[in-house]
Amino acid sequence: MTDTSTSSMTDVVAADVRAVWHPYTQHAIMPTPLEVVRAEGAYLHTHDGRRIFDGISSWWVTTHGHCHPTIAAAIAQQAATLDQAIFTTFTHEPAARLADELLAVVPDGLSRVFFSDDGSTAVEAAVKMALQYHANRGFARRTIVALENAYHGDTFGAMSVSARSVFTDPFASYLFHVIRLPDPMDGDPVTAFDEAIANHRDDIAAIIIEPMVLGSGGMRMYDASIVHALRTRAAAQDIVFIADEVLTGFGRTGPMFACGHAGVSPDILCLSKGITGGFLPLGATVATDVIFRSFLSDDRRRTLFHGHSYTANPIACAAARASLRLMNAESQAQRDRIHAIHTARMATLACNRVVQRPRVLGTIAAFDLSLGDGYLSPVGPELAAFALAQDVLIRPLGNVVYVLPPYCSTADDLDHVYSVLDQFVSRF
């Protein structure tokens, strides 16, 4: 049992230990949390003076760097002008302009932006849109197709289309059935999709995938030809193709969106995480005009009855607009540099016998450790603690180790991360 004596803690940490329930945390064995007092660039600064490199972009949300002055200024200006307005009766400039600006950069054919709060809610909206799209046209298509080892969020619809795992086990009887295709890193989802279509042609409403990389499932990367093949088959059968780019959007895999690797456009695109540069929560579900028009009717029952109190919050939208302006040539050069460093350093790491399946896609680098298997492997927390002791924040997915840094990270920053990883794997 972790010692939770508050005698040597700061007031903030003591209050946390008394009152806070952290996500994805087993409090019976968790270490005492560190108090972060400020952040800048690729670094988190703690109360006791440590400067910790954020090797995972604080759960994949920080793109341009912490506390980027352009985004901070946009937030301050908006907060002094309009903080919140109900997004039914009213609209406002930050949301309307952001929708226009998103449509200018997302894959071709997408034309309507539905705002929500985060990645899970963006997926919830997408699944409901897909199912109701068919229902509004008088078709009883009810089945969703998804990939094994997928992760799409922690709300119930998002859990249902995610792989069954330790995350979902307590809720298994409450989740709706999906047709599961093989993980494309290990199997053939295209042939399996063909078989699903042949057997369930009139019942499949949608297919949802994380294009190019299954994130929480283990940073499992796969070829663009699979994305293209799945998209082509879905289009031929009027199956709604949902691309969950909550992780991969806004340059994480190199291009602006991972669908770009395959040259495809989805029917529905789910966005969050990096949309505000890591400053504020915001989700967006972007749909085609065909999807949107299926909801237009004099019959109010065909309405999309979905929404959130903070839908299109003006301050979050202002942050997103500022972040989007920073997705420029300089940002692309930063991402290219990170990719090159990942590629070189992963080649070196791969020489160690415990490093398996090294892989790189854009700003994401990952490998498996042969020291245990699965999300609950103890090697993950062991490596996380080893790295944190050397002022590097990484959070392995069990025995899957990944580096996913802010775009402002320098070569020296990444050299330090890889030095720590070299030290760890060299112990075995």
Q: What is the CATH number of the domain that holds 390?
A: 3.90.1150.10
Question: What pLDDT band is residue 7 in, cutting at 50, 70 and 90?
Answer: low
- In angstroms, the CA 128 to CA 116 distance is 13
pLDDT digits (tens, 9 = 90+) for 337-350: 999 999 999 999 99
| Residues 321 and 343 placed together within one structural domain of the fold | no
User: How many domains are there within the chain?
Assistant: 2
| Residues 228 and 142 placed together within one structural domain of the fold | yes
pLDDT digits (tens, 9 = 90+) for 82-108: 999 999 999 999 999 999 999 999 999
pLDDT > 90? residue 5: no
Q: Residue 240 half-sphere exposure, CB side, CA atoms within 13 Å?
A: 32
Residue 6: predicted pLDDT:
59
The fraction of the chain above a pLDDT of 70, given in percent, is 98
Number of H helices and number of E strands within the chain? 14, 16
Length of the chain: 428
pLDDT > 80? residue 8: no
pLDDT digits (tens, 9 = 90+) for 251-294: 999 999 999 999 999 999 999 999 999 999 999 999 999 999 99
- Contact (CB, 8 A) for 75 and 82: no
Question: What pLDDT band is residue 373 in, cutting at 50, 70 and 90?
Answer: confident
Q: Identify the residue whose tokens are 């295709």.
A: 181
pLDDT digits (tens, 9 = 90+) for 194-215: 999 999 989 999 999 999 999 9
Report the SS3 class of residue 362.
Answer: coil
Domain boundary among 276, 308, 325: 325
| Residues 119 and 195 placed together within one structural domain of the fold | yes
- List, by residue number, the catalytic residues: 24, 151, 244, 273
- In angstroms, the CA 275 to CA 351 distance is 37
Q: Which domain holds residue 396?
A: 34-68+328-425
pLDDT > 60? residue 69: yes
Residue 1: predicted pLDDT:
40
| Residues 342 and 386 placed together within one structural domain of the fold | yes
| Residues 130 and 174 placed together within one structural domain of the fold | yes
- In angstroms, the CA 211 to CA 215 distance is 10
pLDDT > 60? residue 370: yes
- Contact (CB, 8 A) for 284 and 275: yes
Q: Identify the residue whose tokens are 């330790």.
A: 166
Q: What is the mean pLDDT of residues 231-247?
A: 98
Phi, psi of 252 (to 5 degrees): -60, -35
- Contact (CB, 8 A) for 207 and 230: yes
